[in-house]
Amino acid sequence: MTETKNSSRFFYISAAALVLAAAALVIFLSLNNSGGFNEEFFILAFLIGCLAQMIDGALGMAYGVIVITFLMAHGIAPAIASGAIHISEIFTTGASGLSHWRAGNFNRKLFRSLIIPGIIGGVLGALLITSIDAAIVRPWVSGYLLVIGFYILIKAFRKISFHMIIKRRKIIPLALVGGFVDSVGGGGWGPVVTTTLLGSGHEPKKTIGSVSASEFFVNLVTGLSFTVLIGIPHWEIVAGLIIGGIIAAPIAAKITSKLPAKFLMSFVGVLIVCLSIVNFLR
């Protein structure tokens, strides 16, 4: 009973700390910004953040690829969009990871195996995308997201038998690649890492929970890397994504758990494919 109370206390304290930190960041950005407030960017980011977090809360993936696909469709450069996503995801993945930990959807060995290689891949990806001209990067990122969209669609219709055997020699390179493409493409940690693990038969709940929890640390370092490399342009996007994601996180599981995973994955796949084609042709 005491352990349960301590766990609950830790959960609520951590959740409150995340909310306060997010509020402090938004206030800091607003006070230190001289370019004014772009209401359109803020509302767009808020709505996208809510939608993406709802879906990500159910599938353990697709937050980043949904957000960057929409932002690029509205003319935001890939590096700026990816930076905004990773800064906002520090808070959304923190909330998601805490929720999964409290629910018992957590495998410590898998969690530890993902963190370090994921961070290394994320930093390398941030260095690459911020050093290349946006006009060159945009079609490649759109092509990558198009492939991810089809990949999610294919995964939606596969039947899988599940297990929870952790093989680090396979997970470490997977996390390295996942962190790298997540930075370059603005999203990919979930679609690459989660779907690969589920596709190879890993048990869904603990896999999604562990990948979500490890993503917090990957985003923490990657988000700081983007901040150092390019700063935080369009702070309204960051603020909108953070607020939308945090509001959606607690209710995401309740709403989306009532929908079949196959339907959600199909919806995400079709959405990403269509928007990526539009971005590619722009």
pLDDT at 148: 80
pLDDT at 5: 54
For all residues of the chain together, what is the average pLDDT?
Answer: 78
pLDDT at 92: 79
Residue corresponding to tokens 């700081």: 224
Of how many residues is the chain composed?
282
- Higher model confidence: residue 233 or residue 116? 116
The mean pLDDT value for 14-43 works out to 67
Say how far apart CA 43 and CA 51 lie, in whole Å.
12
pLDDT at 176: 94
pLDDT at 255: 63
The mean pLDDT value for 158-183 works out to 76
pLDDT at 249: 72
Task: Decide if pLDDT at 143 tops 80.
Answer: yes
- Higher model confidence: residue 189 or residue 164? 189
251: CB partners within 8 A, 6+ apart: 54
The mean pLDDT value for 1-11 works out to 54
Task: Decide if pLDDT at 228 tops 80.
Answer: yes
pLDDT at 119: 93
Task: Decide if pLDDT at 245 tops 90.
Answer: no
Task: Decide if pLDDT at 3 tops 70.
Answer: no
Q: Which range scores top for mean pLDDT: 50-59, 186-195, 235-244, 262-271? A: 235-244
pLDDT at 161: 52
| Helix runs in 157-256, H state only | 168-185, 195-199, 204-230, 235-256
For the record, the structure tokens of 102 come out as 């409290």
Side chain identity, residue 133: D
Residues 262-272 have pLDDT tens digits of 777 787 788 77
Residues 192-204 have pLDDT tens digits of 888 778 766 677 7
pLDDT at 46: 92
Residues 100-140 have pLDDT tens digits of 777 777 788 888 899 999 999 999 999 998 888 767 877 88
Q: Which helix (H) or strand (E) holds 272?
A: helix 261-281
pLDDT band at 47 (very low <50, low <70, confident <90, very high): very high
How many percent of the chain have pLDDT more than 90? 10
pLDDT at 117: 95
The pTM of this model reads: 0.77
147: CB partners within 8 A, 6+ apart: none
Task: Decide if pLDDT at 164 tops 60.
Answer: no
